A = this chain, B = another copy of it.
Amino acid sequence: MKFWNENDIQAIYHMSDAINDIETLFTNMNAITQTQRMVISTGTGAKSMLYMPCIHKDKQIGIIKITSITPENPQLGLPTTQANIIITDIKTGKHLASLDASYLTRLRTGALSGIAPKYMSNSNSQSLGMIGTGGMAYEQFLGNIEVRNIQNVYLYNRSRDKAEHFKRQLQQAHPNLDITVTNNVQTLVQKSDIINCQTQSTSPVFEAKDIQDGTHINGIGSYRPDMKEMDNQLFPRASHVVFDDIEGVKEEAGEFIEPHEKGIFKFEEIDGDLKSIVSKKQLLRQSCEAITIFKCVGAAHFDLAVAIGAYEKLNKTPQS
């Protein structure tokens, strides 16, 4: 059995790999077997443990991702989410590897936030507004700049200091970008061709009225029924709504569960899942003015795609 930590994986497996591997998996979903994820509430500290197994029958590889969620960790300088993936060869039954999966989880979530605008946003989108600059934000940024020629980035965070810190991180890695921190969400929303929300918010993080025609919005917060980033009034204006995993959204995403219950939004009205959009290989939107929304909650097969991809690359690299 081999063991790879976050640094090993970050050195060799990048956003372009993750986007490519997830898109490739979408073309062969019949090979996938997965169960509903298991959750154990632990009460204190790590409030819950999540277990997400998934099998790729063609590649003869099985994985399980084991995730702890410890909401108070950031106060101690530790990450909220800590994940590990075990990879098993289902031909021989041998357990092949243990991968630190915290980076892989951020990366696959960022990859989904790249794949969605690749097929949904205006192809000339140049400005990206990011609401929330916490632990998931960097790979969200990477996903967007991978698929669109972004020139301007607007950052908003409840704590401005954190947004400024994030700006320095981005600027160092991408000196040609024009990056602005703002206290004014309205300005951010009005100026952004793509808006990417990654907060723990329980109430809308922007007002629907401020959204300009032609905007694409990615939402990756609201992964619990009590959480909400998008304003209910946005949905009647949206030409297209796409989910990464409809069953997951119905169970977890408060920002869709609540308007569905109120009759403002109907799950039956979505334009399918990300897989079906990708398989059409063309831009979903019919006009430059369309407002499009992608909602992401995650699923085990996305972890499978990046775990196999990373494993295959790591396995070709001599270990130090």
**Also in contact, A33 and B44, with CB within 8 A (given A49-B53, A78-B92, A88-B68):** no
Task: Tell me if A69 is interfacial: C-beta within 8 Å of chain B.
Answer: yes
Contact A84 B1 (CB under 8 A): yes
Q: For the complex, is A100 an interface residue (Cβ under 8 Å from B)?
A: yes
Measured CA separation A81–B92 after assembly (Å)? 10
Residue in chain B with minimal CB distance to A86: B66
Flag whether A134 is at the interface (Cβ < 8 A): no
Looking across the interface, which residue of chain B has its beta carbon closest to that of A50?
B53
- Residues of chain B within 8 A of A53, CB atoms compared: 38, 40, 49, 51
**1/0 contact trace for A96-128 toward B, CB 8 Å?**
001010000000000000000000000000000
- Copies, count: 2
Contact A45 B93, beta carbon cutoff 8 Å: yes
- Residues of chain B with a CB closer than 8 A to A98's CB: 1, 3, 86, 98
| Residue pair B66, A78 in contact (C-beta under 8 Å) | no
From the candidates B42, B45, B66, name the one contacting A64 in the complex (CB within 8 A): B66
User: How many interface residues does chain A have, given as a range?
Assistant: 35 or more
Cβ contacts under 8 Å, A170 to chain B = none
- Is A160 in the interface zone, CB < 8 Å from B? no
A45 and B91: CB pair below 8 A? yes
Supposing A33-B42, A95-B84, A100-B1 touch, asked if A55 and B66 sit within 8 A by C-beta, the answer is no
Please give, as numbers and ranges, the residues of chain B lying within 8 Å of A70 by CB-CB distance.
Answer: 92-93
User: A239 on the interface (CB 8 Å rule)?
Assistant: no
A46 CA / B33 CA spacing, docked (Å): 14
12 A-B residue pairings within 8 Å (CB atoms): A33-B40, A40-B62, A42-B90, A44-B91, A46-B93, A49-B55, A51-B51, A64-B64, A68-B93, A80-B93, A82-B93, A86-B86
A-B contacts besides A33-B42, A38-B53, A43-B57, 19 pairs, CB < 8 Å: A1-B3, A1-B98, A3-B98, A42-B57, A42-B62, A44-B91, A45-B90, A45-B93, A46-B88, A51-B51, A62-B68, A64-B64, A64-B66, A66-B86, A78-B94, A79-B93, A81-B93, A86-B98, A98-B98
Residues of chain A touching chain B, judged by Cβ–Cβ distance below 8 Å, are 1, 3, 5, 33-35, 38, 40-46, 49, 51, 53, 55, 57, 60, 62, 64, 66, 68-70, 73, 76, 78-82, 84, 86, 88-95, 98, 100
